[in-house]
Amino acid sequence: MKETLRYLAGIAGPSGYGSKSTAEQVSQDCCSSVPSHLTAIITGATSGIGAETARVLAKRGVRIVIPARDLGKAAEVKDEIQRESPKAEVIILEIDLSSLASVNRFCSEFLALRLPLNILINNGGVFSQTLEYSEDKIEMTFATNYLGHHFLTEKLLDKMVETAAQTGIRGRIINVSSVIHSWVKRDGFCFNQLLNPKNYNGTRAYAQSKLANILHVKELARHLKARNARVSVNAVHPGIVKTGIIRAHKGFITDSVFFIASKLLKSTSQGASTTCYVALSPEVEGVSGKYFADCNESDCSNLANDESEARKLWKQTRQLIHRLLYQPTA
């Protein structure tokens, strides 16, 4: 109850920020400590909190790389960013996160540019009300929200470690998750069922993908620490934001309930604040393997904190990616 009241009132936590803080405010306060010539890749940056994150980071002098399936939308975002920040550098490259082959092509194209990589924000996501499959024959929500981002991070990790070693600036990876991850129970998180569910439910699939995002953070943080890499990885819950995903649910609830619920929703700028905070704040320097909400470190579910579950998911994911890419079926 106390946390709910804190959220509604926008009371600041230990970081000095709270649920009402905006990306503009957070990044402005970090401005003096943001190193120059940073490069960030932001998935899902053609709309919603991804586009707002790209706009705000560009305003603070960060070079932005937008991986996009819809190149037209990406071009519109680039134009909007450069109208506000004429000196901003924005690079657009094509990607379909649900396709491992497409992710692989994107990484090859980005690495060929020989740019540094300081920040990777795995923000892109889909919510599907009906059961769909990717070209790799994986359930679409899981393929896009988790599997594609896992592979993207794997392919770009050496570049991030190299950049951090050469510049002395710690790299930061951010997985955008959701508080909805806590809805998933242990007996409802079976890898094979995530890939090919028998009884599909869109909300459940979305929650499962967001739990997987956090487990990815937990295990990757352990690997990075073991190799003494100057790269950190954290998960964030942006809050319930007025985005396309929320609008897709509107038809399933009454107008009156939606009106009440809408009062609890964050604006896009408020939703992007935690991502920007974790990406830029000196207070998060060296912090890894954590979960943030409302610009403060927070608690995730017991299942999301389960080290053995994280290790198991990591192993199963790596085996699946290897099989799909290097041992394709006829």
Cβ–Cβ under 8 Å, residues 305 and 221: no
Is 206 among the residues known to form the active site? no
Q: Which two tokens stand for residue 246?
A: 């929320």
Cβ–Cβ under 8 Å, residues 311 and 219: yes
Tokens 């408020």 locate to 270
Q: How far apart are CA 174 and CA 288, in angstroms?
A: 10
List the alpha helices (DSSP H) in the chain. 2-9, 23-30, 48-59, 71-84, 100-112, 140-142, 148-167, 191-195, 202-226, 244-249, 255-262, 268-271, 273-280, 307-326
The percent helix, strand, coil of the chain (3-state, each to 5) is 55, 15, 35
| Annotated catalytic residue within 133, 146, 200, 326 | 200
- Active-site residue list: 200
